[in-house]
Structure 1
Amino acid sequence: MTGTLEVVNPFDLTTIGSVPLVGWDDIDGSLKVATQLHKTRKAWLPAHQRAAILTKAATLMQDRFEDLAFQIANEGGKPLVDARIEVTRAIDSVRLCVHEIAGLAGEQIPMDLTQAGAGRIAFTQREPIGPVVAISAFNHPLNLIVHQVAPAIATGCPVLVKPADDTPLSCKSFVDILLEAGLPEEWCRFVPCDLATAEKLVTDPRVAFFSFIGSAKVGWMLRSKLAPGTRCALEHGGAAPVIVDKSADFDAMIPDLVKGGFYHSGQVCVSVQRVFAPKDMAEEIAERLGSAASQLVVGNAIDATTQAGPLIRPREVDRVADWVAEAEQAGAQILTGGDKISATTYAPSVLLGVPKDVKLSQNEVFGPVVCVYEYDSIDAAIDQANGLPFAFQASVYSQNLKVAMQAVQHLDATAVMVNDHTAFRVDWMPFAGRRQSGYGTGGIGYTMHDMTQEKMAVIKN
């Protein structure tokens, strides 16, 4: 035992639970067992057993739906209405893993394309890559864990999972559900630990695949220290841009942008942050966004009426306040918000005319702040949107197909939403950051592919 991790409600900071931290000796033992499981092919779980376990797990999650939703809201600060959506997505994601198991198939490789290959038959099959280590983030404490752990189980990889320090309870609940559903304990270990122990785990040469969701600073640091041969996937953040064309349907767009910008108080890696609007329309758009944002109910996420909850830690409230103050001092106009409500909450805020060189324009805010910028031409807006060292999802609002396609083709993003906000996602689509925003591609099927490796058999007749 190396200590205890206390879990608090991020709104009122009351203690709601705790989990014991796991020390290196225990983790080393679990990793040794995981490595042996992978090496001993007779110990591999057959596909039908993996599918049955995940199917049972989805049923147990459905049975505990409200408890899981309350836990997400209570430890992570996501409003209860959104926490329920997360539980639904998590259940669907587990079921999607079951569906994708049938797709873990190889293909026939034609060999007689030249004389050298004639007289041979070749085919491929996919095998589990080996022990997986997953480190997750706080903002979707159940569904992110599902996206990292359930694909490992589905592909037959033993997995060790370290949750975010702020939100370990949802992770533990999911691991416990997997075990209750029939998964042998050695195939999935819950290993909350300190950063030094986590780094030692991640960089161990026995790790075959490392899955990380969290800050770019930590993710890229850990990737730089991986042992030779360890594969990885990193998911970080961005400062999602929205291009508004003069033909956009403002009545439909405004509630969209409010949802995309203030969902989970902006603590989403693809949250709407930078809105680029025609110069003669920018003020009106900012005012309408500000008016809608000012009506959001801020409070404890476990209250049914709350629409925007707390930030995960008080220091994040202070950071957002500092960034907004810097922008205001540099000439930005605050149309709504712009201040702390309490030590743990920040008012949903809309700013207009934010200078390009302040932190709000240069970095991911990860808080309830949307900035509106004026542009003279679509080309100039796209150039500014592409001007940061990270890129994730983007969007364009337009009723003009030519303009929409211009944005799709020229925005530097892995996905461009047309007439939808940047935070849209379904769990089977590819989901990835470019440049400093990440490495590899998420999404259930894509993660399962990464957690397997291809083997070819060539049979000479």
Structure 2
Amino acid sequence: MSNTIISATANSEEVAVANGTHVLNLSCYVAGKPIASDNVLQVRSPYDNRIVGTVALAGAKETNEAIEAALKGGKKLNRYERYSVLDKTRHLLMQRKEEMAQLISAESGLAIREARYEMGRANDVLMFAAIECLKDDGQIFSCDISPNGKARKIFTFREPLNVAVAITPFNHPLNQVVHKIAPAIASGTPVILKPSEKTPLTAIRLTEILYEAGLPHYMLSVLLGPTSEVAEQLVKDERIDLVSFTGSVAVGKHIAKTAGYKKVILELGGNDPLIILEDADMNLAVTLAAEGAFRNSGQRCTAVKRILVHENIKAAFTKCLVEKAKEYTCGDPADSETKVGTVIDEPAAIYLEDVTKKAVAAGAKVLLGGKREGALLEPTVIADVPRDAQMVMCESFGPLAPILGFTDIDDAIALSNSTSYGLSAGVVTNNMQHAIRFVKELKVGTVNINEVPGYRIENSPFGGIKDSGLGIKEGVIEAMKCFSFIKTFSMPW
């Protein structure tokens, strides 16, 4: 069941309900001020449909107030003060690690072990962003290096933007948010956050922690509400300097068309292959395929969505993967033994079930899994998948492991490049010449050799091309460049 808006008034932070569980009553914030509203979003667990929390929603009035508060500004934090806020936020977050992990799991349906892992990633983002506050990437250019030069020097430094907008998806309720907010704060840029309506509770809790850590309130607002009054208004407003969006291709392209004259960062979908060559280490290949396809319920833009295997080893690999996939137990996300929780909601699971049926109708074979119960979909291994099947031409955001064969390297490269996406790829091989060729010829933003497509650290550049994005990189360091601009000045020297 999708999260729904109801007419009610949230008048306390946490209330008990009939079954003894607790419901968080939260609100949006305009520059630190909680919003009082009769329009309330119910956030339900994808696993058992219980109400996890509610959020008092914003409207056009609050959206405008958030922009005006950011533009008005307030106390400007120096580098050390920005470092201190981010570092304190990191420590406060880690003190509440289990509480936050349980909230992530409850509102998203992700297995608790995945939520705990996400807490560690968020810790890294905050740590790297804090460290970058203490660095200066300014440059100096001597002007007497040409016959037309003068005895001057040109200096560069960074200045923050006036205000940025960050729009985040559901699949990483904490880490996707931190990846936008932390670099903005590190750059000194006020940001207005619009998290996913499907997983807003974690984002609001993070906002409250940032305020507690000493972030000036004008630096951060968090808004949810009707699309026309919040998201659309934020994207179109001429006072906004930048829109950073992570989500679907359709919405990303709509933002690109409507944003107007401002910076736009689009991190969109992926259809990432894991390419397994004939010389690959079989145990490594199987492990990477299972981890890449099933972790986070397969809900990563960089998840393994296509497993391309050389025909000479395809049968042996498929047999091993089926056995490995049996280890990925599916069930109650709150159970520490569960490896795969739900996808984000039942409609998403129904879509995945449907594309699997279509592939089977076209000749594919389900070797393991495939059963659905509500938003739970078992990790599914599918063999003999046609190259034009919907599940491999479009992004299938869930725990599916479709296997396709290829005959040689030329065929593997052509097959990998055959979709409209270009985010990441993984290649499993012990042949350096082959590895180099894939690095050069795959039309993606990242190629990882003997690793899953999505491997990175939180400050390394990340982003895709084609329908996966505009080629603008994220990751803490690159994001900080986007959330600022370079000013130059020169002096006699």
TM-score by length of 2: 0.90
Residue 90 of structure 1 aligns to a residue in which SS? helix
Q: Secondary structure at the match of 1:371?
A: strand
Deviation of the 1:422 alpha carbon: 1.5
2:311 aligned partner? 279
Q: CA deviation at 1:281?
A: 1.7
Q: Which residue in 2 is equivalent to 1:225?
A: 258
What amino acid sits opposite 1:377 in the alignment? D
Q: Are the counterparts in 2 of residues 72 and 83 from structure 1 also a CA contact under 8 Å?
A: yes
Q: Deviations over 1:164-190 (max 9, x none)?
A: 111111101111001001112111111
Match of 1:324 among 341, 346, 356: 356
Once residues 280 and 236 of structure 2 are traced to their aligned partners in structure 1, the CA distance between those partners, rounded to angstroms, is 49
Q: Secondary structure at the match of 2:127?
A: helix
The answer on 1:96 being equivalent to 2:128 is: yes
Deviations 1:61-102 (A, max 9, x none): 111111111111111122111211110111121111111112
Distance between the aligned counterparts of 1:128 and 1:264, measured in 2?
Answer: 34
Q: Give 2:401's match in structure 1, choosing from 352, 361, 370.
A: 370
1:314 Cα deviation after fit: 0.4
Q: 1:295 deviation in Å?
A: 3.3
Find the counterpart in structure 2 of residue 243 from structure 1: 275
Shift of 1:338: 2.5
Per-residue deviation, 1:44? 2.4
Partners of 1:105 and 1:404 in 2: how far apart?
33
For the 8 Å contact 1:349–1:370, the answer to whether it is kept is yes
Question: C-alpha separation between the residues in 2 aligned to 1:161 and 1:452?
Answer: 17
Structure 1 residues 109, 2: closer, same or farther in 2, change over 3 A?
farther
Task: After superposition, give the CA deviation of every residue in 1:264-311 in whole Å (9 maximum; x if it has no partner).
Answer: 111110111111112132122122212221332111211111100111
Contact 2:278–2:312 (8 Å) recurs in 1: no
Cα distance in 1 between the residues matched to 2:201 and 2:443: 36
User: What is residue 166 of structure 2 aligned with on the other side?
Assistant: 134
- The alpha carbon displacement at 1:262 in A equals 0.3
Measured in 1, the distance between the counterparts of 2:411 and 2:226 equals 45
Task: Name the structure 2 match of 1:288.
Answer: 320
* Contact 1:291–1:336 (CA under 8 A) maintained in structure 2: no
Contact residue 155 and residue 489 of structure 2 kept, 8 A: yes
Instruction: Name the structure 2 match of 1:4.
Output: 40
The question of whether the paired residues in 1 share the 8 Å contact of 2:446 and 2:464 is answered with no
| Equivalent in the alignment of 1:428 | 459
Distance 1:127 1:231 in 2: 15
Aligned to 1:151: 183
Q: 1:67 aligns with which of 85, 99, 111?
A: 99
Q: CA deviation at 1:253?
A: 2.0
Whether the 8 Å CA contact 1:2–1:22 is kept in 2: the answer is no
Secondary structure in 1 aligned to 2:308? Answer: strand
8 A contact 2:423–2:468 mirrored in 1 = yes
Task: Name stretches of at least 5 consecutive residues in structure 2 with no aligned partner.
Answer: 1-36
CA shift digits 1:225-260 (9 cap, x unpaired): 1121x1121111111111111111111221221111
1:404 maps onto 2:440 in alignment: no
Paired with 1:323 and 1:63, the residues of 2 have a C-alpha distance of: 42
Which residue in the other structure is 1:26 paired with? Answer: 62
1:167 corresponds to: 199
Q: How many Å separate the matches in 1 of 2:318 and 2:297?
A: 18
Contact 2:298 2:399 in 1 (8 A): yes
Distance in structure 2 (CA, Å) of the matches to 1:255 and 1:105? 40
Partner secondary structure for residue 305 of structure 2: strand
Secondary structure in 1 matching 2:295: helix
- Does residue 16 (structure 1) correspond to residue 47 (structure 2)? The answer is no
* Corresponding position: 1:448 with 2:480: yes
Q: d(CA) in 2 for partners of 1:125 and 1:165? A: 38
Q: Secondary structure at the match of 2:46?
A: coil
Residue 450 of structure 2 aligns with which residue?
A: 419
Look up the equivalent residue of 2:377 and give its one-letter code: Y
Offset at 1:2? 6.0
2:422 is the counterpart of 1:391: yes
Letter in 2 for 1:382: I
In structure 2, how many angstroms separate the alpha carbons of the residues matched to 1:97 and 1:154? 6
**Inter-partner Cα distance in structure 2 for 1:423 and 1:291:** 23
Separation in 2 of the partners of 1:257 and 1:406?
21
Could you say which structure has the higher helix fraction?
Answer: 1
- Displacement of 1:36: 2.4
Distance, in Å, in 2 between the alignment partners of 1:116 and 1:148 is 43
Task: Give yes or no for contact 1:77–1:264 (8 Å, CA) kept in 2.
Answer: no
5+ residue gaps, structure 1, are none
Mapped partners of 1:195, 1:286: distance in 2: 45
Q: Percent identity?
A: 31
For 2:64 and 2:92, the matched residues in 1 are separated by 30
For 1:438, what is the secondary structure of its paired residue? coil
- Whole-Å separation in 2 of the counterparts to 1:220 and 1:286: 37
Query: 1: CA distance between counterparts of 2:38 and 2:165?
Result: 20
8 Å CA contact 2:387, 2:404 repeated in 1:
no
In the TM superposition, structure 1's runs of 4+ consecutive aligned residues that sit over 4 Å from their partners are: none
